Amino acid sequence: MSHVPNELNEIVEEFIEVPEADRLELLLEYSRELPELPARLADHPELFEQVVECQSPLFLVVEVGAEANHTVNLFFSAPPEAPTTRGFASVLAAGLDGADAASILAVPDDMPQQLGLTRALSPLRMRGMTAMLGRIKRQISEQLAA
């Protein structure tokens, strides 16, 4: 039985514990912490998949390790002028990067709703967040099957 990565659970709890009015600010704080792309990826836009459901241009790379537990590394590219999209990418990066494939696949598809942002963000933005998680899980499944 796989469990959702602890880091992600802690982030979800962090969002739930702050008053609803402050959750968007917390997401914006995360947006400022989105890791820079490594040089080996920064110059290769063709390696990225665009998450077209996002209102802003968001691109991601999912790398699944060859070792037994398949450690996953996530890389996101999102423009600074798209703070909510960047913020959620950063939440996923902080919560899932370095976790094993099985535990990421165990993350509930509605995890974005668990952050308690549904009233602060439009349904369209929430759909983009859900799509981001879906893309990550799909890429992991495809790479494991390859």
Domain that holds residue 28: 6-145
Q: Is the model's pLDDT at 2 over the cut of 80?
A: no
How far is C-alpha 112 from the geometric centre of its chain's CA atoms? Answer: 9
- Kindly state whether residue 36 falls inside one of the protein's structural domains: yes
One-letter identity of residue 93: A
Q: How confident is the model at residue 1 (pLDDT cuts 50, 70, 90)?
A: very low
**Average pLDDT rounded to a whole number, residues 92-110:** 96
- Tally of domains within the chain: 1
Alpha helices in the chain (DSSP H): 6-17, 20-31, 39-42, 83-96, 101-105, 123-145
Q: Is the model's pLDDT at 127 over the cut of 80?
A: yes
Average pLDDT value over all residues in the chain: 94
Helix orientation angle between 6-17 and 83-96, rounded to the nearest 10 degrees = 140
Q: Is the model's pLDDT at 96 over the cut of 90?
A: yes
Q: Are strands 49-50 and 72-77 parallel, antiparallel or unpaired?
A: unpaired
Using alpha carbons, select from 78, 95, 97, 96 the residue that is nearest to residue 32: 78
Instruction: Give 24-60 pLDDT, tens digit per residue.
Output: 999 999 999 999 999 999 989 899 999 999 989 999 9
**Average pLDDT rounded to a whole number, residues 71-94:** 95
Residue 31 sits in a domain whose CATH number is: 3.90.1010.10
- Kindly state whether residue 1 falls inside one of the protein's structural domains: no
